[in-house]
Amino acid sequence: MDLGLKGRVAMVAASSKGLGRAAAVALATEGCDVSICGRHEDTLEEVRQQLAALSVRTSVSVCDVSKAEDLQRWYDKTRSELGEVDILVTNTGGPPAAKFLALEEAQWSEGIESTLMNVVRLSKMVLPSMQQRKWGRIVHITSLVAKQPVDLLTISSTLRAGLSALTKTMSNQVAADNVLVNALLPGHILTDRQTHLAEVRAKEQNKSVEQVKAEGVQVIPMRRYGRPEEVGEVIAFLCSERASYLTGVSLQVDGGIIQGSY
C-alpha cells in the first residue's frame, strides 16, 4: 500500500531510541525526509546512518524536549535544512514513577515540562504553516495509562489523560484545514522504559526483574510484549493519505491490555 508520504518532511521527537526511533524509521521507509532529536549525539548518529541508508534527507539535533529553547533550535534547524514541517510526532520519556504520596512537587513540575509542555510548544510551532498549506499530520505518542491509570505511574496517568483531551480539542480546531491530530497509546512495548519500570516494580515487590516481566506478559491478552516497530508502522499510517478521514482519536496499540470498551 502506498501511504502517499514520499517527500514529506517529518519531525520526530526523542527519536534516538525506542518508540521515537521506530517512528522515524517507519516514516523514512515511506519516503519522508526526517528530522530527529535526542539528548545524546552518539545514539543520534546511529539513527542518522540508519535513515540515510533509506535514501532520505535527514536533520539531526541534540535536544532536551523539556527545554523550550532546545525545541525552538530544533524546529528552526529542521526548516532550514529540510523545509516546512508536514508531520510532527511528539514523544518523550516517561515522568518519574512513584505512587502519589511519594512524589515531591518538583517531580510534578518536571513531569509537566517534559510530558505536556513539549507537546504544546512543538504543536504551536508547526500548526500555523500546516494550516496555511492545508496539509498536516500530528501524532502524540502517549501511553495506555491515558485510559487505564496505573498506581505507580501517577504523574504519567494524569498527564497522558490530559494529552488525549488536548488531542481532541486541538483536532477540532484545525480539521477544516486538513490538519489531522491523533494520539497513539502504546501498551507494554519492549523499550528501555519498560525495563526501567520492571526494575522499579521488582524492587517494590522484592522480586527479580525477569519475574516481573514474566508476570507482566500474563495480563496482556496477546501474551507477549509489543515491538517498537509495531508502533512505528501504525504512526506512519496515521500520518498517511490513507488515514485522511481520521482525526481526534486516541488509538490503542496495546495487544488488548486496555479493558475499557470506549
In a domain, 260, yes or no: no
Pair (150, 204) in one structural domain: no
Average pLDDT for runs of 10 along the chain of length 262: 94 95 98 96 94 96 96 98 98 89 95 95 98 98 95 95 97 98 94 77 82 85 94 98 97 92 62
Residues 133 and 218 in one domain: no
Could you list the residue range(s) of the whole structural domain that residue 200 is in?
A: 191-225
Minimal CA–CA distance to 114: which of 75, 153, 67, 161? 67
- Whichever domain contains 89, its CATH number is 3.40.50.720
- Specify whether 27 is located in the same domain as 66: yes
Sheet-wide strand order for 33-38: 58-62, 33-38, 9-12, 87-90, 136-141, 179-186, 250-253
Query: Do 217 and 242 sit in the same domain of this protein?
Result: no
- What is the domain count for the chain? 2
The answer as to whether 3 is a domain residue is no
Position 114 in a domain: yes
**In a domain? residue 1:** no
Burial of 203 (0-12, 13-18, 19+ CB in 10 A): exposed
Q: How much is the pLDDT for 56?
A: 97
- Looking at the fold, whether 119 and 202 belong to one and the same domain comes out as no
Do 38 and 24 share a domain, yes or no? yes
What pLDDT is attached to residue 124?
A: 98
47 in a domain, yes or no? yes
**116 and 202 both lie in a single domain:** no
